[in-house]
Structure 1
């Protein structure tokens, strides 16, 4: 099977997962008792100073009280800061892409790209002159060391089991915008509930959410980002996919393709090989015989949104995709 690079890396931090972004969220403080009186005076006089937060690994990190030059190393961090009204000075390309995520492209025009997902080019990061680096779920200690030499204010923002809301609150706290982050989440939850009301007879339908890999389809567990959005809208998952967790199931063989069936089937890919594998199977009788396919309820969606760990802006895309598909008149 072929799983996303970050899904494979998650097991390495299982022991630290309970710390997670909750630590980052709960331990931010004004200029903090360990920041010293000089910081307090600077905060008062210049709007500067520092705060101390714990990142998603539990590491205490001093960050600017009001960061001005943020670099994000994942699209989840990019999604988060943009949703908070902050435009970073440096970003990385989207997952499996050589350009920023399409759904965020309009919001980052002119922003310097400092590398690929979790693979920053250090010279480019240095040139961005960051005062805060949001390093997503990076686990490469050598790379983290190099980033912290550029600025000590480098935070791991996601632990393996963190959902997007927990990570987003953590980022909100790190950039000193936690109240706004709380409001964004509350607005999202209200919007998801309202969107569910518009689904009419389709509310309560079983929605299969699948990423197609070169080795076959993998359905997404219930706590995975896109699945969580569907559940918030009042939809259900097929019994075969009604499993806790925030990862993807192992790739299925053609003989087990019925496991991806449902009232509706949302299909995404992340690579050109995945695209080819999906097109190949769509010509086969086993695929054509799926209930969702026979009903015309198989929908192709953007894997760079649906297959990620998500964020507030990505959640809008998923909600819109679901609503458009399920309310479309035949």
Structure 2
């Protein structure tokens, strides 16, 4: 199985193993701050920072202890998941990166980030631009390149790896909430999401509990998402099911399937996404072939195209709203 999100960097396999072993749960171990900026009993320490401001010591997703501002003012995010989380918590970064597979910020967040400086592509920060943003906190997503992390920590020691390869979005989001001293808000955001997902799923009429196939079309064919992948998790929280062939644990996606195995992507409903123009072309080409036309979901006109930069990522609270809305729009029409 390959990652639903981003490929591991070859030079950093050891770091990836550490990430997988420790996980973003480490972010929740210490420094569980409150929204009012007061020191929480779960915090290992609170002290004066170099600039005179209060700091808190927490663990990032690798288990590394990091001192962060008690109330960060200038946040830079290096992934769209970090950006999604920060915005969902009511804060605004001073620097962001482009979306997955994009040369611009993700479209679903575009209206919220119009005046924010872009400091590079996803997990590929341009250091001069990061320096110019003058961050007091850098959220580095699932960054595994130790050389890049070293450079970032020279800009500000308050640089956090916020997610591990096996983490789901709720765990990562709570970790970011802790890092931003906003755990109460993070827990409320998740509770609101879960209530909305349950309510929306219960209002799908005849499609309540339907089987939904979630597929990303790559240049060399389709890959279906495993059960714990982000969009799949949202569908399950809505009370929907995955087709039997796709009822597999994991947060990754399959290798690209050949046309001979295309029946694995069938279901009551088929949600299709792409991340590249080559993927879009491959999907368009296959839609004229008998193997695709013979899928039950296609015959019933239940094949829906969705945004890959939302559906094929690790996700976040704001992305989850898009997935819920996409499912409701399709299944209630």
Q: Distance in 1 between matches of 2:21 and 2:4?
A: 22
The answer to whether the 8 A contact 1:2-1:251 is kept is no
What TM-score do the two structures reach when normalised by structure 1? 0.94
Match of 1:319 in 2: 324
Q: 1:289-319: CA deviations, max 9, x gaps? A: 0000000000000000000000000000000
Q: Distance in 2 between matches of 1:142 and 1:317?
A: 35
Q: Distance in 1 between matches of 2:179 and 2:237?
A: 27
Q: 1:26 aligns with which of 10, 26, 29?
A: 29
Q: 1:136-163: CA deviations, max 9, x gaps? A: 0000000000000000000000001110
Please report how far the alpha carbon of residue 55 of structure 1 lies from its aligned counterpart in structure 2 after TM superposition.
0.3
The answer to whether the 8 A contact 1:2-1:214 is kept is no
Please report how far the alpha carbon of residue 193 of structure 1 lies from its aligned counterpart in structure 2 after TM superposition.
0.3
Q: Distance in 2 between matches of 1:34 and 1:170?
A: 17
Please tell me whether residue 181 in structure 1 is matched to residue 152 in structure 2: no
What TM-score do the two structures reach when normalised by structure 2? 0.93
Please tell me whether residue 158 in structure 1 is matched to residue 182 in structure 2: no
Match of 2:35 in 1: none
Gaps of 5+ in 2: 33-38
The answer to whether the 8 A contact 1:266-1:298 is kept is yes
Tell me the secondary structure at the aligned position of residue 158 of structure 1: coil
Tell me the secondary structure at the aligned position of residue 62 of structure 1: strand
Match of 1:100 in 2: 105
Q: 1:24-63: CA deviations, max 9, x gaps? A: 1221153855544x56xx5xxxxx3100010000000000
| Distance of aligned partners of 1:15 and 1:155 in 2 relative to their CA distance in 1, 3 Å threshold | closer
The answer to whether the 8 A contact 1:7-1:247 is kept is no
Q: Distance in 1 between matches of 2:78 and 2:265?
A: 32
Match of 1:135 in 2: 140
The answer to whether the 8 A contact 1:2-1:213 is kept is no
Q: How does 1:102-251 map to 2 (within 5 A)?
A: 102-251=107-256
Please report how far the alpha carbon of residue 275 of structure 1 lies from its aligned counterpart in structure 2 after TM superposition.
0.2
Q: CA RMSD in A?
A: 2.0
The answer to whether the 8 A contact 2:88-2:318 is kept is yes
Q: 1:274 aligns with which of 257, 270, 279?
A: 279
More helix by percentage:
1
Deviates more, 1:19-28 or 1:176-185: 19-28
The answer to whether the 8 A contact 2:3-2:251 is kept is no
Tell me the secondary structure at the aligned position of residue 17 of structure 2: helix
Tell me the secondary structure at the aligned position of residue 252 of structure 2: coil
Gaps of 5+ in 1: 43-47
